[in-house]
Amino acid sequence: MRRVLLFTIYLCLLPLGVRGDEVSSANSLTPSWETQRQAATYALSIPAPRGQITDRNGVPFAQNRISYNLSVIFPTPLDFTDIQVVDFVNSQVHAAQPLLSRPLIVDPDLVVQHYRNRGAIPFDVASDLSSEEVLKLQGRLPSALTLRGIYVRFYPQGACAGHVIGYTGRTSRASTRILQNNEALWPESEGREGLEQSFDDQLQGRPGQLSLTFDRDGRKVSEKISAPPTPGYNLVSTLDIEIQKLAEKILQKRSKRGALVVIDPNTGEVLALASWPTINPNDFVPSITQEKLAKIESDPNIPMLPRAFRSAYPAGSTFKVFVGIAALETHTISPKDQYDCTPALQIGNLVFRNWKKTDAGELNFRQALTQSCNTFFYRVGQKLGAAKMTDWAFRLGLGKKTGIPLNGEVDGRIPTDQYMEQTYHRRLLAGDLANFSIGQGDILISPVQMAQAMATVANGGTVYQTRVVRQVQTLNNEIVYAYSPRTRENALLSPVTREEVRQGMIGVVSSGNGTAGAAAVKGIKVAGKTGTAQWGPKSKERTAAWFAGFAPADKPRYAFAALYESAPGEKVHGGTAAAPMVGELLRELFKNESKSAKSEGPNKKDSKDENTDESDDESGSMQDESN
């Protein structure tokens, strides 16, 4: 029997390889080999269903459905002429057409190619029938037609988490080549993006085997599944589908381009990794139409770009949190130190300005962080120096990939002397340091990096490995791989630093001098920092508006980063574009706790219209003193 499985059935394939006008001579051919039973067998591969991808609670993001194709079964032996086989298929199509809601158009050349090379298996005349079509066809088909079920990927949540889950595509087109042993009965699928791609090997499963046996005259005598396919492993992500849906809903309502990331600061698990605009993975299964592809590719908002992890932006004043940590931890400043928050500060031949036009007086660190005073941080940055600033940025996980298992994650950038030498052929200067102190210049941070850094601040300095997958398991829930919380780096903060930063960030949201009142939640202390930074040529300048932080401030459960990417020339600020996104998110997440919270009196920022322009342009500016 082993010999039967190793050879092609020459009995069928030799006649199939000749033209119709040569049939009479071909029928006189005898098999080139024989078995004791005078039989020949194909061993064909049955593609396995892919494993599911779920959220942390088992709600499916990706699963399988059975798609039905209407297929013609050719009678054996395969001795039709070209004209006869085309007429045969057309007669079957004619019989089925009244039961379908689509026109059936069959290519005669394709029919002949399939018949001559692959006639042992059905020929599809219609693919992916609707449920209504299947119901009409069942029980009414002539014997030469069949409904052939195949596995197709299905994404029940639609576009939700589309960039994270990814999508699948066919490994090849339907073949017309001579049928070979161990060939798949239909084109298999493979992961093309997201978790579908990164965990393709685990999701794929093990193919089954279909055995087709033919007698010496080429007649099919048996068809049986000798080995059923084994489904792939299931993948349990860290995402919480309710938080993910909420994040995407907010992005859709409040931005044309942006990202919103939520991380558990106590484990490093990503609860939401949302980018806008997003994609619907169902559009790519089994393959995307030219019309849909053209629409996606022509969209100026680039929906295929997962901004949460594949784009990096200038950090703006959110970076002041990390500058403050570096200065406090290295004892460059103390909590009692005060600096004058002037409207401008001259450094060398350049004048660097504050976003406020008036002198705010002498401020300590907490006050300066709350008010986002640029000139305070210019002074601190000069005193701190580049080496300490960049060292602490790296220790907090900035300027390098978080390590989530999604292809294309960006590194971000924290400029160093080496970078400046390679890019500008000089070392870091005092002016560069001033810019870096407020998150300007060449600093780039992705939203997922920002959320990871805020999670590290929230938990006191433990950089957990950021994770989007909890475990991989069998169909019987046996765990194959488990991804437990793991410390990537320790940047443990002193109690003094932690409290100073926390209080300063609380003030950003709840103080009358803060810039993020739109993120306030009644009964919940929110710690955060706004940021506004521009990039690109002046004629097409865009703005990155940030709000990042954690909540509740005393016992953090969520770390977050919201990014609003403006259109060219659009004037936005972190407090008016990004903070409202987080405010809406947190008010929903804490709605039960907010209802039960005791009345704490009026909050000035709570009553402010979220859409009011606070003019909190923290981006600062520098100007040559000669101007």
pLDDT of residue 366: 98
**Residue 43: both structure tokens together:** 């061993």
From edge to edge, which strands make up the β-sheet containing 527-535? Answer: 270-276, 258-263, 558-565, 542-551, 527-535
- Looking at 197, 216, 237, the residue that finishes a domain is 237
The helix/strand/coil state of 562 is strand
pLDDT of residue 22: 32
Shared domain for 180 and 271, answered yes or no, is: no
Shared domain for 34 and 77, answered yes or no, is: yes
Q: Which residues of 139-149 are buried (b: 16+ CB within 10 A; e: fewer)?
A: eeeeebbbbbe
| Cβ-based neighbours of 577, under 8 Å, separated by 6 or more | 254, 255, 545, 564, 566
**Other beta carbons within 10 Å of 358:** 9
**What CATH number is given to the structural domain containing 428?**
3.40.710.10
pLDDT band at 56 (very low <50, low <70, confident <90, very high): very high
pLDDT of residue 39: 64
| Cβ-based neighbours of 168, under 8 Å, separated by 6 or more | 50, 153, 189, 190, 191, 192, 196, 281, 284, 285
Shared domain for 187 and 175, answered yes or no, is: yes
- Looking at 170, 205, 237, the residue that finishes a domain is 237
Strand partners, 377: none
- Looking at 213, 237, 261, the residue that finishes a domain is 237
pLDDT of 175 > 90? The answer is: no
pTM higher than 0.85, yes or no?
A: yes
Shared domain for 313 and 340, answered yes or no, is: yes
Helices (H), 232-319: 241-254, 290-298, 307-310
**Residue 36: both structure tokens together:** 């004791």
Shared domain for 216 and 262, answered yes or no, is: no
Counting the structural domains of the chain, the total is 2
The CA-atom distances, in angstroms, between 222 and each of 144, 178, 215, 611 are: 16, 21, 9, 72
pLDDT of residue 418: 95
Shared domain for 223 and 276, answered yes or no, is: no
* Rounded Cα gap, residues 450 and 560, in angstroms: 8
Q: What is the mean pLDDT of the chain?
A: 89
Mean pLDDT across 252-257: 97
CB 319 within 8 A of CB 438: yes
Shared domain for 180 and 81, answered yes or no, is: yes
Mean pLDDT across 137-149: 92
**What CATH number is given to the structural domain containing 56?**
3.90.1310.10
Shared domain for 15 and 95, answered yes or no, is: yes
Shared domain for 224 and 346, answered yes or no, is: no
Name the nearest CA neighbour of 42 among 90, 78, 70. Answer: 78
pLDDT band at 25 (very low <50, low <70, confident <90, very high): very low
pLDDT of residue 8: 27
Shared domain for 13 and 54, answered yes or no, is: yes
pLDDT of 579 > 50? The answer is: yes
pLDDT of 617 > 80? The answer is: no
CB 589 within 8 A of CB 519: no
CB 142 within 8 A of CB 72: no
Shared domain for 223 and 254, answered yes or no, is: no
By percentage, how much of the chain surpasses pLDDT 90? 79
> What pLDDT digit, counting tens, does each position of 189-219 carry?
999 999 999 999 999 999 999 999 999 889 9
Structural domain boundaries, residue 297: 241-624
pLDDT of 6 > 80? The answer is: no
Shared domain for 198 and 251, answered yes or no, is: no
Name the nearest CA neighbour of 389 among 412, 417, 363, 361. Answer: 417
Name the nearest CA neighbour of 306 among 195, 211, 464. Answer: 195
Long-range contacts from 179-183, C-beta under 8 angstroms, 24+ separation: 179/8, 179/13, 179/42, 179/44, 179/117, 179/118, 179/120, 179/121, 180/8, 181/5, 181/6, 181/7, 181/8, 181/42, 181/43, 181/44, 182/43, 182/44, 182/45, 183/44, 183/45
Strand partners, 272: 262
pLDDT band at 28 (very low <50, low <70, confident <90, very high): very low
* Rounded Cα gap, residues 470 and 479, in angstroms: 10
**Residue 6: both structure tokens together:** 């190793």
> What pLDDT digit, counting tens, does each position of 60-110 carry?
999 999 999 999 999 999 999 999 999 999 999 999 999 998 999 999 999
